[in-house]
């Protein structure tokens, strides 16, 4: 039983596999040339890809645009930084972030899921703005200066350990983690639960007549997105050794939205490609002109007008056709 | 663009000045500064100051015969971007030295990147005392005056001109604003001033008039404020609008009124007094030469950010020539208690906390221009070394 | 008793008066936003940048010697075609897609980024301030009010009244309300819906520009000024009811009064979170806002 959704998700998986292969090649090249900057930049791109992924879970599957996903990203980053400064253990930081993000997502979800459409966008925006202000004014959290001095950690993986200071090692670790987050989200959204979400998006009024509740699946999707964003954020201080309130700011949320829309909303893989594309673009344009916002703004408007499905939304059907041609065993 | 221009200039100079002599590799200085966003105006001064000094140094034969090359990156006033760009300049640009950060969050975060990369950085702008105090780093230097130096200088002036003054404080409500107010309050109270009240307004406040009731009720003779940039323009405009500037002396932090916003504030800035590490009015041949060259190059007066950034290049030149190398450890050792000349006179980099010690000036806005009304010797304004890390 | 009167006279009343000025300013910005949303269903994320555009155009024109009073008329007239073109050239391109809310929001978000950077490119990063056109002030009952602020309250009220008159009492306004209520029905009754939409967008943008001219002498001009009012304006529009002019006025006055009075008792830093909190609560209990939508009831 293969329906259209499963087929297109398979195409997404193929695209992720291509990205992973390319990443492995980049890592190998980076190790060979003794590079640290590009590997760290790529790691950062992956971390922000995780944030974009969480925006896409909401936008692509529930049709709700979050303009405040940085709230959970920043929460994860600060929590991880605070834990690491006391207990320099990856698993402690990761577990704490997962638990707190789930709770915060639940509370946030109850608030925001009472509204739809643009109201949802504005309420998420407002919530993130309030959180940013609170962090910015709280001395215990370093206030406007943020927190520096997050230690380099060794991540114990049972059979081996990876240092967060090792450019290639930490890159591969983050790659693995983001792919796992992708796979988990993709799996969940391919189950009947995911289909229910899509049905909700298509026609909310009919769902109760089919015997489903409308509130619960939305809440689950929102908590999932919150956790994905927070867990990605938790990786940030490991990479850079500090956190600052700017991680909560609208610029962070806005960038994630730009990433998803140019990458292709509703494809999940678009978030990953979009983040890589945007990071490369910003890094290149930024070296030539300080007016990079004009370029980014134009490209983004162009994507909204001419490429409504985003890059991956346009590429994926090609892969689907190729997959369809292959004989089924 | 600019880096290309500098590179071409360097190439031309090495082709002519050194004429045939071997052209050594240039010394690379990375600049991570806000060229966009809220602090773009400060970043512009930083850029102008560094470019002017580099041009002069290169024309005079460079540092140890090596040309200096600047590479600019925009940090968007965001520490996360600053860290990424600093990493790029250290790892890919292979810069020998880095400067340019403006907000203290960026300076602290980039300082940590420098420690991990084994390189040195200097800030020419950040005021926060913590950078060369409790959060000091062996790899971070500051060539500009910190908040404590500025408020000591201002307090000295206050005790002379307005003995036992009634002072009211209005600061922006974030870490920097609160610490500047606290610093000036303690300096002022030490010299006999009475505090009549304080209020903190959110950063980027639209309207300060809502605090005027408290201000009026406190009946102060002096208002101290540490708001900056666009916020200052609004505060002063509104003070003037409400007729509060009559019989009130407004004093403030050195970033409160600068060449960038003085034009916009206009007449409302008249009479404003601040303690600052630099003024374009300093009457020395070195400074006059600097101001003339700066104006010719940028069609704008230098402010403290431009002058301190300009001075940094000469500090680095002196240190490298003393160390006869650009290695981190050797340059760090050479920076220790280094004395060098800047447009505002001789500065000393205190070895114990990497803070520049310099003569502080008290300046007053008169006729739309800063005039110097007092001076405080460097050692009287600096305060104790509280850095314990090195 | 006399203490209470004194408190009212010297603390509360001036604070409320200041809140009133801010309220008028916020309403001026929010009016255009609410008209655009009410009619086109478009969240104009670049509205703050159009407010800034008005201020910058005024700044450019006054530097060639045009007087402030002329600019008050000229700038909105210049902004009208700008808004019309943006609606026809950009908004309409994504207007008919399935996800109008999200895509128009994204498009105007991109436009806002672009405009803000363009201001910096053209006018530089530093602030500018036009001279206050009316100086001096009025003192009554021990309360001092600058004349320009009184002027602002009067002119602001006049503009708000004029807009309400046009929308609720004229044939043009009837067409607008009809188009907002049922686009297809209005079209079949001969309302030139396309032009009404573009016209309403242009009108909203021109109002933002006019607010820019009026507020620049108090709040000064700089590239990122568009971010200033936009949060508050969105809040006002939501609380008042998307598209409702009366709602924007009531919510604008109410919220700024709350902000002004609250900041007497707790640190003003928290006045923004409190206003957001009100917005969140409003969205939860009465998402249609105080007055409901334009054209509906």
Q: DSSP per residue over C34-99, as a string?
A: HHHHHHH----TTHHHHHHHHHHHHHHHHHTT--HHHHHHHHHHHHHHHHHHHIIIIIHHHHTSS-
To which residue do tokens 């005392």 refer? B129
pLDDT tens digit string along C53-72? 999 999 999 988 889 999 99
Distances (CA, A) of C199 to C50, C103, C193, C248, C296: 16, 20, 10, 20, 20
Q: Do A291 and C117 touch (CB under 8 A)?
A: yes
Q: Has residue A281 been placed in a domain? A: yes
| CATH number of domain containing A256 | 1.10.3470
Shortest distance between the Cα of A162 and any Cα of chain C, in A, equals 40
Q: Do C126 and B41 touch (CB under 8 A)?
A: yes
Q: Do B237 and C263 touch (CB under 8 A)?
A: no
Confidence (pLDDT) at C1? 62
Burial class (CB in 10 A: 0-12, 13-18, 19+), B335: buried
Confidence of residue B6 (pLDDT cuts 50, 70, 90): low
Confidence of residue C250 (pLDDT cuts 50, 70, 90): very high
Q: Do A41 and B84 touch (CB under 8 A)?
A: yes
Q: Do A242 and B36 touch (CB under 8 A)?
A: no
Half-sphere exposure at residue C182, Cβ-oriented, CA atoms within 13 angstroms: 7
Confidence (pLDDT) at B183? 85
CB nearest to C113's CB, from A59, A126, A297: A297
Neighboring chain B residues of A41 at a CB cutoff of 8 Å: 84, 87-88
Neighboring chain A residues of C123 at a CB cutoff of 8 Å: none
Residues 56-95 of A with CB under 8 A from C: 59, 63, 65
CB nearest to B213's CB, from C10, C125, C267: C10
Confidence (pLDDT) at B320? 93
Neighboring chain A residues of C279 at a CB cutoff of 8 Å: 122-123, 126
Question: Nearest-CA residue of chain A relative to B73?
Answer: A287
Q: Do C117 and A305 touch (CB under 8 A)?
A: no
pLDDT tens digit string along C162-175? 998 988 888 888 88
pLDDT at B15 over 50: no
Same fold, B2-145+282-357 and B148-276+363-382: yes
Q: Has residue A329 been placed in a domain? A: no
pLDDT at B17 over 50: no
pLDDT at C294 over 60: no
- pTM, two decimals, is 0.87
Element containing residue C143 per DSSP (H, E)? strand C143-146
Confidence (pLDDT) at A328? 52
Question: Nearest-CA residue of chain C relative to A111?
Answer: C284
Residues 100-159 of C with CB under 8 A from A: 101-103, 105-107, 109-118, 120-121
Query: What's the rounded Cα separation, in Å, for the pair C14 and A254?
Result: 39
pLDDT tens digit string along B115-173? 999 999 999 998 888 899 888 999 999 999 988 888 889 998 998 888 888 999 998 87
Shortest distance between the Cα of A136 and any Cα of chain B, in A, equals 7
Confidence of residue B290 (pLDDT cuts 50, 70, 90): very high
Kindly list the domain boundaries of chain B, sorted by start residue: 2-145+282-357, 148-276+363-382
Shortest distance between the Cα of A244 and any Cα of chain B, in A, equals 7
Question: Nearest-CA residue of chain B relative to C6?
Answer: B217
Question: Nearest-CA residue of chain C relative to B37?
Answer: C224
Residues paired with residue B371 on neighbouring β-strands, in sequence order: B364
Those residues of chain A that have pLDDT short of 70 are 1-2, 326-329
Half-sphere exposure at residue C266, Cβ-oriented, CA atoms within 13 angstroms: 9
Q: Do A40 and B109 touch (CB under 8 A)?
A: no
Q: In 3D, which of A187, A188, A218 has the Cα closest to residue A200?
A: A218
To which residue do tokens 């672009």 refer? C114
Is A226:A109 a contact under the CB 8 Å cutoff?
A: yes
Is A233:A76 a contact under the CB 8 Å cutoff?
A: yes
Subunits with 3+ C-beta pairs closer than 8 A to B: A, C
Q: Has residue A31 been placed in a domain? A: yes
Q: Has residue A328 been placed in a domain? A: no
Question: Nearest-CA residue of chain A relative to C104?
Answer: A304
- Confirm whether the ipTM is greater than 0.95: no
Subunits with 3+ C-beta pairs closer than 8 A to A: B, C
Q: Do A137 and C109 touch (CB under 8 A)?
A: no
What count of CB pairs under 8 Å joins B to C? 100
B351 or B175: which leads in pLDDT: B351
Instruction: Say which residues have a Cβ less than 8 Å from residue B264's Cβ, sequence separation at least 6.
Output: B233, C126, C127, C128, C129, C220
Domain that holds residue A12: 4-323
Assign C239 to helix, strand or coil.
Answer: helix
Domain count across chain A: 1
Neighboring chain B residues of C263 at a CB cutoff of 8 Å: 210
CB nearest to B175's CB, from A36, A144, A289: A144
Percentage of chain B beyond pLDDT 70 is 94
Question: Could you name the CATH architecture of B2-145+282-357?
Answer: 3-Layer(aba) Sandwich (3.40)
pLDDT at C261 over 70: yes
Q: In 3D, which of B225, B199, B224, B219 has the Cα closest to residue B211?
A: B199
Q: Do C219 and B234 touch (CB under 8 A)?
A: yes
Q: Has residue A91 been placed in a domain? A: yes
Q: Has residue A85 been placed in a domain? A: yes
Query: What's the rounded Cα separation, in Å, for the pair A306 and A298?
Result: 12
Q: In 3D, which of C192, C163, C162 has the Cα closest to residue C178?
A: C192
Question: Could you name the CATH architecture of B148-276+363-382?
Answer: 3-Layer(aba) Sandwich (3.40)
Neighboring chain A residues of C121 at a CB cutoff of 8 Å: 291, 294
B207 or C157: which leads in pLDDT: C157
The alpha-carbon radius of gyration of chain A (Å, integer) is 19
């Amino acid at each position: 039983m293969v329906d259209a959704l499963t087929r297109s998700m398979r195409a997404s998986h193929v695209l992720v596999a291509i990205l992973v292969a390319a990443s492995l090649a980049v890592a190998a090249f980076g190790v060979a040339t003794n590079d640290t900057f590009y590997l760290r930049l790529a790691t950062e791109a992956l971390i922000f890809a995780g944030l974009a992924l969480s925006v896409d879970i909401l936008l692509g599957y529930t049709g709700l645009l979050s303009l405040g996903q940085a709230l959970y990203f920043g929460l994860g980053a600060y929590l991880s930084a605070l834990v690491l400064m006391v207990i320099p253990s990856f698993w402690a930081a990761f577990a704490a972030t997962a638990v707190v993000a789930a709770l915060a997502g639940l509370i946030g979800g109850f608030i925001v899921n009472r509204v739809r459409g643009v109201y949802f966008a504005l309420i998420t925006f407002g919530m993130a703005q309030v959180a940013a202000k609170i962090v910015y004014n709280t001395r215990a959290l370093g206030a406007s200066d943020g927190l520096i001095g997050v230690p380099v950690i060794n991540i114990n993986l049972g059979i081996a350990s990876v240092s967060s200071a090792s450019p290639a090692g930490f890159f591969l670790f983050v790659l693995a983690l983001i792919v796992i987050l992708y796979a988990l989200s993709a799996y969940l959204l391919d189950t009947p639960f995911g289909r229910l979400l899509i049905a909700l998006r298509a026609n909310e009024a009919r769902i109760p007549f089919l015997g489903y509740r409308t509130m619960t699946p939305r809440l689950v999707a929102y908590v999932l997105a919150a956790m994905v964003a927070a867990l990605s954020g938790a990786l940030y201080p490991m990479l850079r050794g500090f956190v600052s309130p700017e991680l909560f700011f609208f610029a962070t949320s806005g960038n994630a939205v730009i990433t998803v829309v140019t990458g292709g909303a509703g494809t999940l893989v678009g978030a990953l490609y979009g983040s890589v594309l945007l990071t490369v673009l910003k890094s290149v344009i930024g070296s030539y002109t300080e007016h990079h916002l004009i370029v980014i703004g134009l490209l983004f408007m162009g994507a909204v007008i001419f490429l409504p499905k985003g890059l991956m939304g346009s590429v994926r059907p090609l892969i689907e056709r190729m997959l369809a041609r292959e004989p089924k065993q | 663009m600019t880096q290309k221009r500098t590179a071409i200039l360097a190439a031309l100079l090495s082709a002519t000045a050194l004429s045939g002599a071997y052209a050594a590799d240039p010394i690379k200085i990375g600049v991570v500064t806000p060229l966009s966003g809220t602090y773009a105006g400060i970043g512009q001064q930083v850029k102008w100051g560094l470019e002017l000094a580099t041009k002069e140094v290169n024309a005079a034969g460079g540092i140890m015969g090596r040309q200096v090359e600047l590479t600019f990156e925009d940090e968007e006033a965001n520490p996360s971007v600053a860290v990424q760009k600093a990493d790029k300049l250290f790892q890919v640009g292979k810069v020998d030295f880095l400067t340019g950060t403006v907000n203290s969050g960026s300076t602290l975060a980039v300082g940590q990147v420098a420690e991990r990369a084994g390189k040195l950085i200097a800030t020419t702008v950040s005021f926060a005392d913590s950078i060369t105090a409790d959060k000091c780093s062996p790899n971070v230097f500051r060539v500009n005056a910190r908040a404590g130096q500025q408020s000591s200088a201002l307090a000295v002036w206050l005790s002379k001109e307005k003995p036992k003054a009634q002072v009211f404080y209005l600061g922006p409500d974030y870490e920097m604003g609160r610490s500047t107010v606290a610093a000036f309050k303690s300096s002022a109270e030490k010299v006999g001033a009475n505090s009549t009240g304080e209020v903190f307004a959110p950063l980027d406040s639209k309207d300060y008039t809502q605090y005027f009731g408290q201000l009026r009720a406190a009946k102060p003779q002096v208002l101290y404020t540490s708001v900056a940039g666009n916020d200052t323009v609004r505060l002063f405009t509104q003070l003037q609008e409400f007729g509060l500037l009559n019989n009130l002396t407004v004093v403030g932090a050195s970033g409160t009124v600068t060449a960038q916003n003085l034009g916009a504030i206009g007449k409302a800035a008249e009479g404003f007094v601040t303690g600052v590490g630099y003024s374009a009015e300093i009457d020395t041949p070195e400074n006059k030469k600097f101001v003339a060259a700066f104006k010719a190059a940028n069609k704008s007066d230098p402010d403290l950010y431009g002058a301190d950034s300009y001075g940094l290049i000469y500090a680095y030149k002196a240190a490298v020539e003393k160390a006869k190398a650009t290695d981190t450890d050797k340059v760090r050792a050479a920076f220790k208690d280094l004395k060098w000349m800047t447009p505002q006179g001789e500065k000393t980099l205190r070895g114990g906390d990497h803070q520049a010690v310099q003569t502080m000036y008290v300046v007053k806005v008169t006729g739309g221009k800063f005039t110097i009304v007092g001076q405080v010797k460097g050692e009287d304004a600096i305060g104790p070394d509280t850095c314990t890390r090195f | 008793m006399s203490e209470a009167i004194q408190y009212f006279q010297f603390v509360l009343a001036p604070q409320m008066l200041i809140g009133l000025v801010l309220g008028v300013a916020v309403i001026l910005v929010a009016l255009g936003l609410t008209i655009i949303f009410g009619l086109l269903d478009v969240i104009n994320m670049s509205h703050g940048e159009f407010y800034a555009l008005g201020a910058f155009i005024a700044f450019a024109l006054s530097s060639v010697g045009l007087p402030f009073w002329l600019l008050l008329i000229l700038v909105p007239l210049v902004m009208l075609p700008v808004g019309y073109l943006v609606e026809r050239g950009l908004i309409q391109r994504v207007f008919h897609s399935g996800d109008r809310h999200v895509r128009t929001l994204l498009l105007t978000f991109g436009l806002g980024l672009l405009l803000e950077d363009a201001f910096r490119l053209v006018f530089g990063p530093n602030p500018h301030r036009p001279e206050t056109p009316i100086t001096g002030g009025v003192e009554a009952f021990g309360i001092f009010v600058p004349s320009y602020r009184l002027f602002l309250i009067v002119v602001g009220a006049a503009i708000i009244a004029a807009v309400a008159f046009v929308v609720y009492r004229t044939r043009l306004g009837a067409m607008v309300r009809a188009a907002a209520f049922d686009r297809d029905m209005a079209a079949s009754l001969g309302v030139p819906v396309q032009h009404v939409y573009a016209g309403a967008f242009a009108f909203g943008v021109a109002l933002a520009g006019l607010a820019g001219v009026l507020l620049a002498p108090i709040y000064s001009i700089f590239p990122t000024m568009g971010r200033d009012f936009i949060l508050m304006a969105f809040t006002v529009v939501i609380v008042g009811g998307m598209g409702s002019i009366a709602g924007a006025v009531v919510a604008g006055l109410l919220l700024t009064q709350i902000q002004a009075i609250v900041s007497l008792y707790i640190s003003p830093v928290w006045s923004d979170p409190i206003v957001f909190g009100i917005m969140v609560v409003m969205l939860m209990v009465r998402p249609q806002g105080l007055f409901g939508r334009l054209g509906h009831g």
